[in-house]
Amino acid sequence: METTPAEAEEQARAQVGKKRSGNGKAVSGGESEHEMHILTERERRKKMRNMFSNLHALLPHLPPKADKSTIVDEAVKYIKTLQHTHQTLEKQKFEKVQGATTVDHEQSIITSPLEAVIESREAYLADHLGSSVPKNLSMAANIHHSLQVPSDCFQTWFSPNVVVNMCGDDAQISVCSPRKPGLLTTIFYILEKHNLDVVSAHVSSDRYRSMYMIHAHAGEASDQFPESISVEEMFKLAVGEMNLWLLTS
């Protein structure tokens, strides 16, 4: 059990009293105070040694014979490391909770248009065809429409050099290729050839390769020729031509 300063002082006084009674001689007040100070200081140093020993035991990476200044410095560093680790874990926990909330929200957004399509078709069949529609036919129609991809959902195609994310009349085209002269000009030419407008383009390159992020839109062309070719086919033809050029050039 550790000794408090008050208890150390009492022990010092008791030892001084024993020394006085053992010798049978009175000890002067100055000598008594001096001996008590020595004993108190001895107890204080013993307590400090125990505290440093306990602190050293909490830092197993230190060598057995580390000095006191090293123990204090390493303890401060270790506390700062623990604080940083705690902050990092709290941040990851917050981001994980936020990510789960975002995924749930996006899933509800994607699911809602599909449910609306199914409900509107059921209402149309009920209003216009009534009970004359066989149940099997109605069920088959609903299954067919539930399997179709809504226009406001992403459709993705990819090849070794090109990835396309299409949604409605817009598409995000990502191209990664070794550096080739005239590549961006050729991509723009192919898009224009297939009546696809470039909304924005981001270019990133180094000594060995180039990366392009292109937002393309098929607005006016798809409105002028709605029956000749679909927007999906327009993008597929353009991307196929890009792939062919990348492979053969």
Q: pLDDT tens, 184-217?
A: 888 999 999 888 999 999 999 888 889 999 999 9
Shared domain check, 232 and 217: yes
DSSP-derived secondary structure for 23-51: HTSPPPHHHHHHHHHHHHHHHHHHHHHHH
| pLDDT band, residue 171 (cuts 50/70/90) | very high
Q: What is the pLDDT averaged over residues 108-131?
A: 51
Q: State pLDDT tens for residues 214-229.
A: 999 987 655 555 556 7
Indicate the angle between helix axes 135-147 and 68-128, nearest 10 degrees.
140
Give strand pairing partners of 155. 166
CA distance 165 to 235: 10
Shared domain check, 243 and 165: yes
Q: State pLDDT tens for residues 80-98.
A: 888 888 888 888 888 777 7
Q: Which one, of 141, 144, 112, 115, lies nearest residue 128 by Cα?
A: 141
Q: Which pLDDT score is estimated for 16? A: 52
Strand spans (E) along the chain: 155-158, 162-167, 170-178, 197-205, 209-217
Shared domain check, 110 and 85: yes
Shared domain check, 84 and 44: no
φ, ψ of residue 118 in degrees (nearest 5): -65, -45
- Residues of the chain above pLDDT 90, percent: 13
CA distance 36 to 183: 91
Q: Which pLDDT score is estimated for 145? A: 43
Q: Are 33 and 16 in contact (CB under 8 A)?
A: no
Q: State pLDDT tens for residues 62-86.
A: 788 888 888 888 888 888 888 888 8
- The CA angle 83-84-90, to the nearest 5 degrees, is 90
φ, ψ of residue 26 in degrees (nearest 5): -75, 140
Q: Which pLDDT score is estimated for 217? A: 92
Shared domain check, 168 and 115: no
Shared domain check, 241 and 166: yes
Q: Which domain holds residue 200?
A: 155-248
- The CA angle 183-184-185, to the nearest 5 degrees, is 90
Sign (positive/negative) of CA torsion 79, 85, 88, 92?
negative
Shared domain check, 244 and 160: yes
Q: Which pLDDT score is estimated for 114? A: 46
| pLDDT band, residue 148 (cuts 50/70/90) | very low
Shared domain check, 104 and 142: yes
**Dihedral class, residue 184 (left if φ above 0, else alpha if ψ from -120 to 50, else beta):** alpha
Residues with Cβ within 8 Å of 4's Cβ and at least 6 positions away in sequence, in order, are none
Shared domain check, 140 and 93: yes
Q: Which pLDDT score is estimated for 57? A: 84
Residues with Cβ within 8 Å of 148's Cβ and at least 6 positions away in sequence, in order, are 117
Q: What is the pLDDT averaged over residues 14-30?
A: 53
What CATH number corresponds to the domain at position 213?
3.30.70.260
- How many domains is the chain partitioned into structurally? 3
* pLDDT-wise least confident of 32-36, 150-154, 161-165: 150-154
